[in-house]
Structure 1
């Protein structure tokens, strides 16, 4: 199972096993989703983090 690295609205970075509706694309509904952040334990708007090149 592939994991997705995301950043919540508070700036916490974490991984999730699924990123709901990621195949619909940013053009239709935007890149963010509501996910429960494990650091602040609240539902937060979260967006995928682009992998660093290097």
Structure 2
């Protein structure tokens, strides 16, 4: 997947999250805790407690 340079921002959530969260749960974290709009086309990255997995939330409009 290629993104136009300078138009996509990556937000990394600063605390570990449970990888059992659904995409709705990650959406809620991005919306209410990070105070960002998940539908903006930006990338939202979340890591697990051991930092062995990453989950990226992205909505293509």
Q: State whether TM-score is above 0.5.
A: no
Higher-helix-fraction structure:
2
- Alignment TM-score, normalising by the size of structure 2: 0.27
TM-score, reference length from structure 1: 0.29
- Determine which structure has the larger strand proportion and give its number: 1
